[in-house]
Structure 1
Amino acid sequence: MSSLAVYHVNDPVQPQRLLNHADDIIRELSEIGVDFAQWQASAVLQPGASSEDIIAAYRTDIDKLIAAQGYQSFDVVSIKEDHPDREELRAKFLDEHTHSEDEVRFFVAGSGLFNLHVEDHVYAVFCEKGDLISVPAGSKHWFDMGEHPYFIAIRLFNNPQGWIAQYTGDSIAKDFPNMDDWK
């Protein structure tokens, strides 16, 4: 189940709010400029589906986002426990950073934890299959896929070069619950 926990930066243990209903999550995140939605595939995906099959299943939704937001490229990323670079990728995503473009992810399978640092709050968004999140350009955030990752996501980019991070140097991410704490 998708969830949103809102913490004050001075209390990374006890959330001020915990939301589990999509409408509540959408409303809360929209107040900080983050888009959140839930999609359904137009085709049934089989285990081990190729990137092409995944894109075909969600092509109508992808095309709507491209038309509305002007995204230049998209791809499919798939990371599971046996991925040879999982530890390096997790470390790279776990440090607080920003992007010069929106970070748009649609979870086709599995789950991940986006943390958004907005003023004196951290919004921890547990995303799973069917969730679309769009983190606005310039937003401080980090992402955790856990020690035993499993997710497949469609990523959309304004920049054809793809994922480029500017790290803040803030160690705040180390203070807050990680993906494994949510399971």
Structure 2
Amino acid sequence: MAVDKEDMPYFMSKDIVDQRDPNRQTPHRLINLHELAKVGVEFLERDQMELPNLAAVYSMKNRDAISISKATPGYNELIKGFFKEHLHKDAELRFIKSGSGYFDVRSADDEWIRIPVCAGDFLFLPPGIYHRFTTDHNDMVEAIRFFQCSPRWTAYLRDDDGDKQPERNEFLLKNGLIKSDRHQRIMSDIANPLVVRLNPNGTEYTCVYCNQLLD
């Protein structure tokens, strides 16, 4: 079964028999692109002619291509490895040339969101986000990968040392998923304009370090 362009993205079921299945929840729960943006993910449909402009927007200077199929040596083990929850220290920028599959990312509430991808799809994942990838039952995908400098494809597994990476903490702070140590300390100094700013409503303050409301 290939991915359905009319049905994406969505929250995944916790019961997975085959990672290449759609694995939807019952009832089916869709998620919109605005919700994806809350964890720094961008998902667009673009023509390949637009890639140079997109690469410039994201300051991506280099690229390579990857093709995975049943003909790839060690295919089954390869997709099992891709499906382990992990993060990278660098942003991921992918354009799907052909084939199809699924990128899974963690929501702000730590649920799995499944993003079906196929030819013409463009996906940006920020550094530090936990994610995984699998082909679907077409068992084939070809993608262009973009990177800012030399690629660092080291995967930091969540079960190992992923949470220890500074990029993980930066991701959580940037997306408002945790509060910084400074945020906690300035609660006693709420009148200091160097560390807080008064919001337009005149009743709430925001931490200048992590851009979150002060409780």
Normalising by the residue count of structure 2, what TM-score does the alignment of the two structures yield? 0.60
Alignment correspondent of 1:115: 104
Farther off after superposition, 126-135 or 112-121:
112-121
8 Å contact kept, 1:75–1:154 = yes
Alignment correspondent of 2:35: 28
Residue 138 (str. 1) matches residue 128 (str. 2): yes
User: Structure 2 counterpart of 1:151, which letter?
Assistant: V
Report deviation, 1:31. 2.9
Taking structure 1 as reference, are residues 13 and 146 closer, same or farther at Cα in structure 2, changes over 3 Å only? closer
Moved over 4 A (4+): 7-10
Larger radius of gyration: 2
Alignment correspondent of 1:85: 74
The count of residues paired between Structure 1 and Structure 2 equals 148
Report deviation, 1:85. 2.7
- Give the strand-richer structure, 1 or 2: 1
8 Å contact kept, 1:6–1:15 = no
8 Å contact kept, 2:70–2:140 = yes
* Residues 147-166 of structure 1: pairs in structure 2 closer than 5 A: 149-166=139-156
* Identical positions, percent: 27
Report deviation, 1:67. 1.6
Q: Could you report, residue by residue, the CA deviation over 1:6-64 in whole angstroms, capped at 9, with x for unpaired residues?
A: 24879x86267544xxxx74333223221111012xxxxxxxxxxxxxxxxx3x42221
8 Å contact kept, 1:96–1:168 = yes
Residue 87 of structure 2, aligned match among 79, 87, 98 = 98
8 Å contact kept, 2:102–2:114 = yes
RMSD: 2.7
Q: Could you report, residue by residue, the CA deviation over 1:148-176 in whole angstroms, capped at 9, with x for unpaired residues?
A: 62111111113413422111118xxxxxx
Taking structure 1 as reference, are residues 16 and 97 closer, same or farther at Cα in structure 2, changes over 3 Å only? farther
Give 5+ residue unaligned stretches, structure 2: 16-22, 161-215
SS in 2 for 1:33: coil
Alpha-carbon separation, structure 2, partners of 1:94 and 1:17: 22
